[in-house]
Amino acid sequence: LLLGTTITMSSNHWIMAWTGLEINTLAILPLISKSHHPRAIEAATKYFLVQATASALILFSSMTNAWQTGQWDITQLTCPLSCLVLTTAIAMKLGLAPFHFWFPEVLQGTTLTTGLLLSTAMKLPPMTLFFMTSQALNPTVLSTMAILSAALGGWMGLNQTQ
């Protein structure tokens, strides 16, 4: 987990950042499914599918930006389509609203320590990408997702029965 986080947080190239995110995803999957319970296997499958989709969107965003600008540098994100796709992809990786529906279901199928890892340490690399590209991303969209995530998280948390 530390290797992927370190690679993503210290990279300036999109492919290296993507590689670090993928290392993190592949490192946490055995921890999610180690109990061999059907709920844990379902959680690992959901986690993998969502993270793979978000990773594909990050690759698409970086390739679109490189095609438009000729730059693979993370801080040189200038293509509007790339900015929108990257915002969507990182929101999926972080479990931000409106891309949050997978996260509670995955947490239900994991142990407490794995859930703690998923809720904290696994959020650091995508947040780093948000910070590195924040000057190019739409602040209105980011603020809306933040407010929506906080409001829906609190409101839906009241509805929890398990």
The pLDDT tens digits of the residues spanning 84-137 come to 999 999 999 999 888 888 998 999 999 999 999 999 999 999 999 999 998 888
pTM, rounded to two decimals: 0.90
Domain positions in the chain: 2-157
pLDDT in tens, 1-22: 789 999 999 999 999 999 999 9
Which of 96, 94, 99, 145 is closest to 123 using CA atoms?
A: 94
Whole-angstrom distance, CA of residue 96 vs CA of residue 77: 21
Whole-angstrom distance, CA of residue 3 vs CA of residue 9: 10
pLDDT in tens, 40-73: 999 999 999 999 999 999 999 999 999 999 989 9
Rounded to the nearest 10 degrees, what angle do helices 124-132 and 80-94 cross at? 160
| Model confidence at 160: pLDDT above 80 | no
Which of 13, 156, 141, 11 is closest to 84 using CA atoms?
A: 141
